[in-house]
Amino acid sequence: MDTAGHIFSLQRSNGGVPKLPIREATVTELGLEGDRQRDRRYHGGPERALCLFSLEEILALQAEGHPIYPGSTGENVTIAGLDWNELKVGVCLALGDEVVIQISSFAVPCNNIAESFEDGKFVRISQKTHPGESRLYARILKTGELRVGQAVRVVPQPAAEQILS
C-alpha cells in the first residue's frame, strides 16, 4: 500500500455542499474549525469529525463524465497519493505535522450530493456498490493545524498510540 500522500485541498462550509476551498485550518475534536453540517443526524460529531476523499477517485469520476470536484460531495480533506482502496475502518493517518486521525466509517452518499454526478446517481461512491471508491469519515485522535500541501502518512496503530502519549 502507498503509505504517503499529501493534502491536495481543504474545504469547509457554513452548512451543506459544496464545501469551499481554504488554504489552512485548525482541526478540533469535531473537525475543521468553522465547518458546519446541515443535518447532524448523519454528518459531523466526534465519529464523523472529518470527511475525506481521494483526488484520484475524483479525477476518475470526472473522466466518467461526472461534474464532481473537490468539496462538491462534502469532504473536508482531499488527499492525493494514497491507495484509497486500502484504507479501511481503524486505519490511522497522520495529516501534516500535528493531526492524527482514525478512519471510523465509510460515508454513505445521499441525494444532497446528486449534482456532482451525471444523472444524479450519487450511489456511484457507495462503498456497498463500489468498494474502495467511497468517501471516509474519521475521528480526531490529535488536534492541530493543517495546510494544503502537507504530507499524509498511514501510521501503524502502535505508532499512533505513541504519538498520542
pLDDT in tens, 42-68: 567 889 999 999 999 999 999 999 999
Q: How far is CA 94 from the centre of its chain?
A: 13
Report the relative pairing of strands 151-155 and 24-28 from DSSP bridges: unpaired
Q: Could you report the per-residue pLDDT of 13-52, keeping only the tens digit for each?
A: 998 899 999 999 999 999 999 998 766 555 678 899 999 9
Q: Beta partners for 11?
A: 21
Give the residue from 107, 72, 92, 74 showing the smallest Cα distance to 152. Answer: 92
d(CA 159, CA 31): 22
pLDDT in tens, 69-97: 999 999 999 999 999 999 999 999 999 99
Considering the entire predicted model, what is its pTM? 0.92
pLDDT score recorded for residue 41: 57
Of 107, 97, 96, 98, residue with least CA distance to 138: 107
Measured from the Cβ of residue 31, the count of other Cβ atoms closer than 10 Å reads 28
Strand 136-142 and strand 20-22: pairing?
unpaired
Q: Is the dihedral of CA 74, 77, 78, 81 positive or negative?
A: negative
Q: For the chain, what are the domain ranges?
A: 4-164
Q: Quickly name the fold that domain 4-164 has.
A: M1 Pyruvate Kinase; Domain 3 (2.40.33)
